[in-house]
Chains A and B, each alone.
Chain A
């Protein structure tokens, strides 16, 4: 489904009905019989899902078949036509992020843009980004308010600290995983193969930034709000019982776009770019600003910096 069709008009409803009808014929009787037991999937797809290899050991054809199954599954579960891609990392690129905390006003536009962009569960209220509200002059995270809800922000005497996955260069979560379902890609993004994760949640215990989140139930996403531009290692609809995390909007950034949180930020606090490019804005920040990283003492080498004017 493309974004330009409005959800309220009759033509769209008709179109939807026609598509449902055609899909019913296309899948044939086997699917119709199997529907209740396999949650709207054909037996072949369920079988192939179960025996699917991990991402890094699949051949190009196997990945292609997996992407098609993901699209069919989204169709069956959410009644939405998505496109699931496998855009590879760009050579000579390692991503880094920096946030100007003196500019951040705590609007949380990044949080909401992220939820929409990455198809995060709405009922579960999963959010990859937490904006912490702290008293001016206090940097103790234990004193932070995660659920601040004043009439207007910024509140006098408060400052704001957005936290998300730091894409550590020595990520403790990757070491923790007993089945290698999470790893660092060549462009520095720590990703999860949602089809390989066994849901033990050891990575969540290992992460010092509380960046990993678990699907305690099937994520609920309203069909009309589904972002149909997805990536295997990124924002495709996730199954229940697996861990997920921020992936620097891998479906956008690998195509040269900004991550959604940066695009949404009204204050321009967020700087994202290629750490290997000496002319990039992120390199300018690292070279010319007083930067620091959260919990530097743990040795995880975050590729995520904070600075102030």
Chain B
């Protein structure tokens, strides 16, 4: 069976490499193990070990979840030029982007599971044997779109790689419909995640029609930032051909998206503060503090400064075209959006509470350790996937019919 042979060869390739590669895998695994140990403490003692409370009932986990769905969606920025505009240079790296989407969706789902009070009851969500409250609950929608997106991003590269492995060209007409679905699906996962928040009139800070567009714009800035850095690492560490034109294209998309994202932030600030009403209390807390509490104030201004610096670098062409400056802009954008769409979005929704109480939140060491573990796990998945993808794309792994005559 060539499929079994393909999977076997792929997995073997994932665990083959120089010493540095093994050290990298070991370091990531150690972080995962350390976080898993802290998670077991959360399992035995309950979510009381986190910084969350009845007042601020979502925290660092859901913040990372919201951000990572955006990273997953951003893979579409490689999918569209590769498959729709048939850009050969982008096509060469599109599978790496899809691998990143798989890793990001995995992390997003793990963050939601880490946040559950009863992970042992996860099966209650499975239709038929459980009760899946679809299409009413936005959380049910999110579970649905994320699962399908995960499968799409596994299935398409699997087919393409399997064809290459067998030395055939993949049948474009066969997988193109799925590519089109995946494109729209990418937008849907982040829109649904935004709607999850904006659906709540109880939380005026989230209850804005701009939240969906803001999520997409910031995702299309932070996503390319991560892809640009990753592709350069791939280019440096392997003999894989990553064309500079791909990086230039992503940098341009990122520039535009970050501009739009900042414009949206400005629009939000104007509307809330020009005639400041009771509904602006949360954003007031975020940017200026409220009633003597201002733990997020420095945090959000820092994020804004990062994003503004990044957009200036990106908007000046000679600066953007310098690799070092572009990389700085990418790091600034990634961190800036992570703060803005993470803690900067989730926490103020709960401050003040609907009854006007101000109660602050800050993650505990358990939350930080579990989050680090989930991030490390995602990087681990991406490393392994990318390793196999690159080997197959370079033609190092090929199916040979005569091998099949011998047992594995």
Interface residues of A (CB under 8 A from B): 50, 54, 57, 126, 130, 132, 140-144, 146, 163, 172, 175-181, 196-202, 204-210, 212-218, 239-243, 295, 298-299
Contacts and interface: CB of A to CB of B under 8 A. Distances in A.
B48 to A, nearest CB: 4
* Pairs A-B, 7 closest by C-beta atoms: A199-B117, A241-B117, A208-B202, A141-B356, A142-B356, A178-B139, A217-B48
Interface string B227-244: 000000000000000000
A205 B115 contact: no
B136 A175 contact: yes
Interface stretch (B10-18, B52-60, B299-307, B319-327): B52-60
Contacts of A198: 116-119, 121-122, 124-125
Contact of A207 (B119, B196, B202): B202
A240 B45 CA distance: 9
Contacts of B130: 179
Contacts of B122: 198
B355 interface: yes
A12 B126 CA distance: 48
B57 to A, nearest CB: 4
Interface centre among B138, B143, B196, B202 (most CB of A within 10 A): B202
Contacts of B395: none
Given A172-B200, A204-B57, A215-B46, A196 B117 contact: no
B133 A178 contact: yes
Nearest to A172: B202
Interface of B: 45-48, 52-55, 57-58, 112, 115-122, 124-125, 130-133, 136-140, 143, 196, 199-203, 278, 281, 349-350, 352-357
Given A141-B355, A172-B200, A215-B46, 6 more contacts: A177-B137, A179-B133, A198-B118, A213-B54, A216-B46, A299-B201
A120 B118 CA distance: 19
A178 B132 contact: yes
A196 B200 CA distance: 23
A241 B47 CA distance: 7
Given A54-B124, A176-B139, A178-B133, A205 B118 contact: no
Contacts of B125: 178-179, 198
Contacts of B355: 130, 132, 141, 144, 146, 163, 209-210
Contacts of A239: 118
A204 B54 contact: yes
Contacts of B133: 177-180
Contacts of B118: 197-199, 239, 241-242
Nearest to B346: A205
A144 B356 contact: yes
A113 B121 CA distance: 32
Interface-central residue, A146, A172, A218, by most chain B CB under 10 Å = A146
A210 B353 contact: yes
A140 B278 contact: yes
A7 B117 CA distance: 35
Contacts of A54: 124, 131
Given A179-B131, A201-B57, A142 B121 contact: no
B116 A217 contact: no
Contacts of A299: 201
The listed residue with most A CB atoms (<10 A of its CB), out of B48, B52, B118, is B118
A50 B121 CA distance: 8
A304 to B, nearest CB: 14
Contacts of B137: 175-178, 202
Contacts of A202: 137-139, 196
Contacts of B357: 144, 146, 210
Most buried by A among B120, B196, B354: B354
